[in-house]
Structure 1
Amino acid sequence: MMSLRTLSRSAPRAAARFTSAPTAVRSSLVSSAAARPSTFSAALTRTRVSAFSSAAARWAPDNTEVDKELSSKLSSEIQFENEIRENEPEATSVKDFLDSGLFEIEDIPGREEVVLRRTYGNEKITVTFSIADLANYDPEIYDDDAALGDEDIDGTGARKGEEGAEGEEDLDNESGPVPCRLSIVIEKPNQGALSVEATAQDGGLVVDNLYYYKDAAHAHEASADTAHAAQQVYPGPAFGSLDEDLQVLLDRYLEERGITQALAVFVPDYLDAKEQREYLGFLNNLKKFVDA
């Protein structure tokens, strides 16, 4: 990956040298043309064309060997990724969830977002999540944020995961699945929509926020206009500030509509497999471009 980044950084400088050379040649020729009589205009034209052609040839990048090395490296990377894909069968959670037929899945190759759709009575339910969460995940920042509200309730001030009395240590140092954000929209005809922001992590689903919009389009925010309009609407308080019994009932309300623990397990596993597919597609596209 470092060689690709180095190549991309050097490309603009190479392009600048390539574009600057013809300009210098043209400036030189224009100056010489002003000094010559007009009777030599035909000869000057031939000289200008010849000089421009030779300059372009001299400044043409000669990356033949680099292209070959890059193509070879991409081939080995593609082979490696294919071997990983062959040796890692589909996760059981993914197979079971898709086989259940509860949701229809929309996963377009080349796109980051995945959409699940289903109907429940007269309701239309969509669940959207993205592999961008995998790329943007920083475990150090997340762990620091989680630790702020994770103090021990025994009054000692020690946080979970810190060393306890007589050398007791937290043995659970392995990081779990990346937390994945879910955007859930439940629509009813002529009744607007509920918009739910949730996080799937460690096999559980946590509702972060739940909003109500009279206009269902505000829940989707499909355009800049609808997103701006949604910001001007009062959608309700933060989910955590609601009465605890109300929170429990809303959780059960979502579970009846398929927003369950099975979904929370499925999403991270599916995104992990999708990210690997998209990366392999990126490598193949890059190799085709280099080889063309």
Structure 2
Amino acid sequence: MFSVRALTRAAPRTISRAAGASLRSSAIARPGLARTPAVKALLPTRAAAAFSTTVRRSKEEDVEVDEALSAKLESEIQIEEDIKANEQQPASIKDFLDNSPFELVDTPGQEVVKLIRNYGDEKITISFSIADITNFDPYADENLFDEDDLPEESSDKQSQQQQQNQDDGLEGDEEGLDEDAGAPINLSILIEKPGKTAGALNIDATARDGDIVVDNMFFYEDATVARIDNPEAAQKRADVYPGPPFGSLDEDLQVLMERFLEERGINETLAAFVPDYVDVKEQQEYLRWLKNVRTFVDA
């Protein structure tokens, strides 16, 4: 679930970056010394060549900047720790970790999280990343149709709805957003049968709004191609026939594939756990990053 915490935390950082960029632009645009042609003619060539716009800072000024940066980092750390202390962990996380057959593999400082289990002769590895929630913009309207692309009747209905929203004072109101509609989290599901076959199924899916949606399904004759991350393996993966889009397969085949995954624990419970866990981990990693940067500045 993409929490209000993440939205409110991102807003001041965005404003701060925008303000900083504006100040930097102004500084660059402002000329250091304005010289008329007449003044330039009076200056000797060597004097002009020796001119430098480099600003020399004293050690005292450097120390002041370092101290200010450290204090700001400490302030951000305190904000994050206060949020963490006042925010309860979603029940879906504890429920999943207590009852799921999957083993959680979460390495501090790494973006990718893995869930691993054995199912009969199979080894199942599910990988997902906090990058999906970091890059998620809940206000993005990129999936909306352009009014010019809609049929005339649909365009008229859309205009009427927009007018109704304006009349009701709903347009632009953040309360209109569904806080429970979290960021879609991409899942890479690898199913192997060690000792029985060298091949593997690799399924691309998405955990969204409590459901697992299968996007694509690949088969690799060599499981190491799907498992190992290096340029050679990536090239081999790119060369593999990807198969048709999952949504274009026979409906019965789609249903059976979804049941195949559900029997292995890739179900609604996992779909609820993944976005909530990603949200919590993103906060932990951001806090860790702040502390590491402050430690480096203070060293």
Normalising by the smaller structure, the TM-score range is: 0.7 to 0.9
CA 1:166–1:6: 2 relative to 1, 3 Å: closer
Residue identity opposite 2:66 in structure 1: D
Higher CA-based Rg: 1
1:225 positional shift = 0.6
1:207-254 deviation line (CA, Å, top 9, x unaligned):
111111111122235211111112222242211111011001100000
CA 1:163–1:224: 2 relative to 1, 3 Å: farther
Cα distance in structure 1, aligned partners of 2:162 and 2:66: 60
Which residue pairs with 2:40 in the alignment?
none
State which drifts further: 266-275 or 74-83.
74-83
TM-score by length of 2: 0.71
Cα distance in structure 2, aligned partners of 1:278 and 1:160: 45
1:135 positional shift = 1.8
Which residue pairs with 2:81 in the alignment?
82
Which residue pairs with 1:204 in the alignment?
211
1:174-219 deviation line (CA, Å, top 9, x unaligned):
3521111011111113241111111111111111111111111222
Matched, 1:288 2:295: yes
Q: Name the SS for the 1:137 alignment partner.
A: coil
Which residue pairs with 2:72 in the alignment?
73
Aligned partners of 1:147 and 1:159 also within 8 Å: no
Which residue pairs with 2:188 in the alignment?
183
Residue identity opposite 2:120 in structure 1: G
Q: Name the SS for the 1:98 alignment partner.
A: helix
Identity of aligned residues (%): 48
CA 1:161–1:101: 2 relative to 1, 3 Å: farther
Q: Name the SS for the 2:109 alignment partner.
A: coil
Which residue pairs with 2:238 in the alignment?
231
Which residue pairs with 2:31 in the alignment?
none
Which residue pairs with 2:50 in the alignment?
none
Residue identity opposite 2:284 in structure 1: R
Q: Name the SS for the 1:212 alignment partner.
A: strand
Displaced runs of 4+ in structure 1, greater than 6 A? 159-162, 168-171
Unaligned runs of 5+ in 1: 11-56
Which residue pairs with 1:157 in the alignment?
154
1:158 positional shift = 5.7
Unaligned runs of 5+ in 2: 1-12, 25-55
Which residue pairs with 1:14 in the alignment?
none
